[in-house]
Amino acid sequence: MNARTPESVLNAAQALGEVSQAWDNDIVSQLTDYISIPAKSPMFDAEWEKNGFIDTVMWNAATWVESQKVEGLTLEIIRLEGRTPVLFFEVPASNGASADAVAPSSQTVLMYGHLDKQPEFSGWRNDLGPWTPKYENGKLYGRGGADDGYAVYASIAAIQALKSQKVAHPRIVGLIETCEESGSRDLLPYIDALGKRLGDVALVICLDSGAGNYDQLWLTSSLRGMASGVLKVEILTEGVHSGDASGLVPSSFRIMRQVLDRLEDSATGRLLPGSFHCEVPADRLAQAQATAAILGDEVHKRFPWAHYDCGGSTAFALPTTTDPVQALLNRTWTPTLSVTGAEGFPSLQDAGNVLRPYTAFKLSLRLPPLIDAGMAVEQLKTLLEDNAPYQARVTFEGLSGATGWNAPSTAPWFEQALNSASNAYFGAPCGYIGQGGTIPLMNMLSKGFPKAQMMVCGVLGPKSNAHGPNEFLHVPYAKKLTAAVAQVIAQLPR
């Protein structure tokens, strides 16, 4: 491939100025409106189609994209029957200001994001809420702005930065889905339907990930997979007097504990099945060591630990480890179990002396990047259901599964472009960090486009708290990230 010509070099100050103006004058306002719409993912809103919130945010985004009048851009909202919609846009390749007859690159940049959201969750600050956006000290609070409503707006602003300076760029397509928080279960049919329209993808830009700090560009090097489902233990057909029955009727909660003991060592949190573990690749271990040197204790201090008064001093709850290297590996390459919901429990106020008939937990199992999620779900079902204590009725209903992702080797041009962009807009080189979350699309794209480079990054830095209370978008970081994306696109070799 030929290196880019001078016409492909962005003026960083101009690009950041124009991008910042777009954010201040327009994008923050668009995202404020977006946050106010409870466009929950289908897993959390069974009536999503009837409620119309997903259609509303999709329509609003499409209308805004068209209003930007990007040269050559075409756009459509695609709907497969029974599926959530996707937005697909295309911008043809351009030689920019060059007058030579060299044909533009035949390769494609694919820009990805999603517009569906996680549910509300509790614990928001008194003056904040999931659907009541607030812009304060450079942070836009509310559900979904950072995860991942901003992606489509930032993508277009990056393209406009290239157009404004008449910088040569390859063909660019955008794919914005509305089912990511449900495991992207609707996405594969759309990728199949779009087929050749995606083109020869050489670079994927996914703006749905996180950052180790707000001081440099961060490239996501791996993503954990996920297997989720509902584990239910039934021992009675109805609740009975606890004084009358306890000691004879086993507690459904105690049976639940026994069943989960097959999966997890409750003293350490280690998952017991060896098939859920994998060896950490040498390059990922080296990157974790380099990142630990940058972040230090901030790896664990970034979380809102519970605290209490202890004899005049403040005591804080403790992490599983304070070693920054091990902490990074624990949240990226170690399988872990979380109980994210429960059923069968009355509220504390309504809890009488009754032995409950059943206990149900929603389980979220995070898997190392190299473990197949489908296999994990099958093993979970067998492990949890077989030979139930007291012959109780134990069922595990899988809800979603997504295999994780390990990034391909970084091409020399891509590494140089990342460092150049990070230094230009942040004054520091690019950092590499694994993420504990899941982006189902990345595994699909790595299989479909094995030679493509993957720019997986995002605004979810310290305290941004995606999925939880007080989620925020760090706007100053988002501006620099948007400009950095434009510069990386400009440096894709012909």
* pLDDT tens by residue, 354-385: 999 999 999 999 999 999 999 999 999 999 99
Q: Encoding tokens for residue 443?
A: 């595994």
Indicate whether 7 pLDDT > 60. no
Boundaries of domain holding 339: 225-402
Asked whether residue 385 falls in the same domain as residue 471, the answer is: no
Q: What pLDDT shows up at residue 94?
A: 94
Identify the CATH number of the domain in which residue 469 sits. Answer: 3.40.630.10
Q: What pLDDT shows up at residue 312?
A: 84
Q: Cα–chain-centroid distance for residue 239?
A: 40
Indicate whether 104 pLDDT > 70. no
Using the 3D structure, point to which of 402, 425, 460 is the last residue of a domain. 402
- For 272, other C-beta atoms within 10 Å of its C-beta total 13
Q: Which of 299, 364, 361 is nearest to 118 (CA)?
A: 364
Of the pLDDT bands very low, low, confident and very high (cuts 50, 70, 90), residue 5 is very low
In a domain, 1, yes or no: no
Indicate whether 34 pLDDT > 80. yes
Return all residues near 399 (Cβ < 8 A) that are at least 6 apart: 43, 183, 228, 229, 230, 362
Q: What pLDDT shows up at residue 105?
A: 61
In a domain, 48, yes or no: yes
Helix axes 28-35, 150-164, angle to 10 degrees: 160
- Specify the long-range contacts of residues 350-355, CB closer than 8 Å, at least 24 apart: 353/241, 353/242, 353/243, 354/239, 354/240, 354/241, 354/242, 355/236, 355/239, 355/240, 355/241, 355/242, 355/245, 355/246, 355/249, 355/251
Q: What pLDDT shows up at residue 494?
A: 76
CA distances from 306 to 132, 147, 318, 319, 484 (A): 26, 25, 9, 11, 36
Report the pLDDT averaged over residues 164-193: 95
Asked whether residue 57 falls in the same domain as residue 182, the answer is: yes
In a domain, 370, yes or no: yes
Asked whether residue 200 falls in the same domain as residue 233, the answer is: no
pLDDT digits (tens, 9 = 90+) for 71-84: 999 999 999 999 99
Q: What pLDDT shows up at residue 429?
A: 98
In a domain, 27, yes or no: yes
Using the 3D structure, point to which of 354, 373, 402 is the last residue of a domain. 402
Q: 83-87, 310-314, 476-480: lowest mean pLDDT where?
A: 310-314
Report the pLDDT averaged over residues 418-426: 98
Evaluate whether 405 touches 440 at the Cβ level (below 8 Å). Answer: no
Fill in the amino acid letter for 66: E
pLDDT digits (tens, 9 = 90+) for 326-351: 999 999 999 999 999 999 999 999 99
- For 277, other C-beta atoms within 10 Å of its C-beta total 17
Of the pLDDT bands very low, low, confident and very high (cuts 50, 70, 90), residue 298 is very high
Indicate whether 2 pLDDT > 70. no
Indicate whether 486 pLDDT > 90. yes
Identify the CATH number of the domain in which residue 330 sits. Answer: 3.30.70.360
Indicate whether 3 pLDDT > 80. no
Using the 3D structure, point to which of 380, 402, 424 is the last residue of a domain. 402
Indicate whether 1 pLDDT > 70. no
d(CA 484, CA 154): 11
Asked whether residue 388 falls in the same domain as residue 249, the answer is: yes
Q: Average model confidence (pLDDT) for the chain?
A: 95
Report the pLDDT averaged over residues 96-118: 79
d(CA 402, CA 400): 7
Q: Is the peptide bond before 148 cis (omega within 30 degrees of 0)?
A: yes
CA distances from 238 to 295, 357, 360 (A): 52, 5, 15
CA distances from 79 to 40, 53, 163 (A): 18, 15, 30
pLDDT digits (tens, 9 = 90+) for 118-146: 999 999 999 999 999 999 999 999 999 99
In a domain, 14, yes or no: yes
Q: What pLDDT shows up at residue 195?
A: 87
453 phi and psi angles, rounded to 5 deg: -85, 145
In a domain, 316, yes or no: yes
142 phi and psi angles, rounded to 5 deg: 135, 160
Of the pLDDT bands very low, low, confident and very high (cuts 50, 70, 90), residue 106 is confident
Indicate whether 172 pLDDT > 70. yes
Asked whether residue 274 falls in the same domain as residue 307, the answer is: yes
Does the pTM exceed 0.75?
A: yes
Q: Which of 417, 394, 382, 401 is nearest to 493 (CA)?
A: 417
Asked whether residue 331 falls in the same domain as residue 210, the answer is: no
Q: Encoding tokens for residue 26?
A: 């327009």
Indicate whether 69 pLDDT > 90. yes
Q: How many CA atoms lie within 13 A of 365 on its CB side?
A: 35
Asked whether residue 297 falls in the same domain as residue 161, the answer is: no
Q: What pLDDT shows up at residue 379?
A: 95
Asked whether residue 337 falls in the same domain as residue 270, the answer is: yes
Evaluate whether 169 touches 71 at the Cβ level (below 8 Å). Answer: no
In a domain, 153, yes or no: yes
d(CA 184, CA 192): 14
* Proportion of the chain above pLDDT 70, given as a percent: 97
Instruction: Tell me the β-bridge partners of 139.
Output: 136, 474
Asked whether residue 317 falls in the same domain as residue 374, the answer is: yes
d(CA 220, CA 149): 19
pLDDT digits (tens, 9 = 90+) for 198-246: 999 999 999 999 999 999 999 999 999 999 999 999 999 999 999 999 9
Q: What pLDDT shows up at residue 400?
A: 84
Asked whether residue 449 falls in the same domain as residue 324, the answer is: no
Asked whether residue 282 falls in the same domain as residue 391, the answer is: yes
Asked whether residue 185 falls in the same domain as residue 70, the answer is: yes
In a domain, 398, yes or no: yes
- 185 or 478: which carries more pLDDT confidence? 478
- The domain total for the chain is 2
